[in-house]
Amino acid sequence: MAVTMLQLPLPEAITRAPADELAERITDAKRTLGTRLVILGHHYQRDEVIRHADFRGDSFKLAQAAASRPESEFIVFCGVHFMAESADILSAPHQKVVLPDMNAGCTMADMADITQVEDGWDAITRVIGDDLLPVTYMNSTASLKAFVGERGGAVCTSSNCRAVLEWAWKAKRRVMFFPDQHLGRNTAYRMGVPLDQMQVWDPYEDNGGLSDDAIRGSRLLLWKGHCSVHNRFTPEMVDQRRAQIPGVKVIVHPECRFEVAQKADAIGSTEGILKIIQDSPAGTKWAVGTELNMVLRMARELAATHQVVALDDCFCVCGTMFRIDPPHLLWALEALVEGRIVNRVSVPDRIAGPARIALDRMLSIT
Ligand code: 13P
Ligand code: SF4
């Protein structure tokens, strides 16, 4: 079930403050809190926010960072809700995780409602018995991670999906993959699994929209979920950029559709994209299919050595990531300075326990 979030309105003294004042006050609050505070920032955060982060990275790197700072009493997560939940699960009991805006959710994570997941799982295991292991993408609710942990499965991120799938297929013949069909399909295909051994489970259709024979013949059952940001990229955009920029290389996030990933020169997690571009020879031109804030930042920071452009001029911004802005960050930090915790993300023990097992499995596999 999607998490119910309540975001209080911010005081006018913050919403009306000019940008430079906000930046100064955030820096002051950070200084006052010192090592009691760590700020984690996902690559999709806007520049005015990411500049204050102690760690920048993809979901995997930030999950490791959350687990690596036990001295920090407060973890302020500049990202989305499922990331803050994972940080809470992986951090020590004395640490408190704060999400500056509770409306920063993820539409993909919301596509896998836990009741539908349980119903789907029961229907499939009635057909094929228990020769099935669940794997969930990090971009899922803590309840889904707990479901996976209770059934022997693991979490994966876009940077370790292949390793987790390899591990899962050693244990069982079939894998059920939540909630992003594209990450599952793109990764499995590159591992040599043919498309006809992958089936999409649609939670809104009877029996997932699949015959029992189709379920029996599958190696990978893909939950019908997707990212509304990456779904906007099309194969035609790849052709267009290649025509416009001779010699351009195309790199996309694995949340892009199969036909887009197939046309790309490379795929990678956000951290992977950054590294591949940084490590490419000077002068390489790149068209990048991922969230626009990250692409524009790379374009600016690597301008001396590389040409980086967005895969398309469509405004591919993640609206929920964008909700974290300097006013919300400042509001959360100044509350901590005053001894108040606002927007704490705290996963109940009965969910955090099994979810942690699924996350720890991922961290031990990769
Ligand atoms: P990364 O793990 O690649 O940072 O992806 C997170 C995400 O939300 C992409 O849409
Ligand atoms: Fe979720 Fe897509 Fe935004 Fe990532 S980019 S947080 S998957 S909506």
- 80 ligand 2 Cβ < 6 A: yes
- 324 ligand 2 Cβ < 6 A: no
How many helices (H) and strands (E) the chain has is answered by 17, 13
Classify domain 109-223 at the CATH class level. alpha beta
CB atoms under 10 Å from CB of 301, counted, come to: 13
* Residue ranges around ligand 1 (CB below 6 Å): 43, 58-60, 139, 157-158, 227, 255, 269-270
Please tell me the predicted confidence (pLDDT) of residue 2.
Answer: 45
Q: Where in the chain is the domain with CATH 3.40.50.10800?
A: 12-104+320-365, 109-223, 230-310
CA angle 275, 277, 283 (to 5 degrees): 145
Please tell me the predicted confidence (pLDDT) of residue 159.
Answer: 93
Residue to substitute in 269, 271, 316, 362 for testing ligand 1 pocket (most ligand atoms within 8 angstroms of CB): 269
Please tell me the predicted confidence (pLDDT) of residue 10.
Answer: 96
Ligand 1 center from residue 103 Cα (angstroms): 18
> Which pair of tokens denotes residue 222?
């893909």
Ligand 2 center from residue 271 Cα (angstroms): 15
Per-residue pLDDT of the chain (366 residues; tens, 9 = 90+): 344 468 999 999 999 999 999 999 999 999 999 999 999 999 999 999 999 999 999 988 998 888 889 999 999 999 999 999 999 999 999 999 999 999 999 999 999 999 999 999 999 999 999 999 999 999 999 999 999 999 999 999 999 999 999 999 999 999 999 999 999 999 999 999 999 999 999 999 999 999 999 999 999 999 999 999 999 999 999 999 999 999 999 999 999 999 999 999 999 999 999 999 999 999 999 999 999 999 999 999 999 999 999 999 878 999 999 999 999 999 999 999 999 999 999 999 999 999 999 999 999 997
Query: Position 39: which residue type?
Result: I
Q: Which fold has domain 12-104+320-365?
A: Rossmann fold (3.40.50)
Torsion of CA 123, 124, 130, 134, to 10 degrees: -110
Contact (CB, 8 A) for 306 and 286: yes
pTM equals: 0.95
As a whole number of angstroms, the distance between CA 147 and CA 140 comes to 11
Query: Position 188: which residue type?
Result: A
Ligand 1 center from residue 85 Cα (angstroms): 15
Sign of CA dihedral 221, 224, 229, 235: positive
Q: 230-310 is classed in which CATH architecture?
A: 3-Layer(aba) Sandwich (3.40)
Please tell me the predicted confidence (pLDDT) of residue 245.
Answer: 98
As a whole number of angstroms, the distance between CA 41 and CA 54 comes to 8
Q: Which atom of ligand 1 is found nearest the CA of 268?
A: 3
Please tell me the predicted confidence (pLDDT) of residue 4.
Answer: 47
Protein residue closest via CA to atom 1 of ligand 2: 106
Nearest to 70 by CA among 96, 52, 51: 96
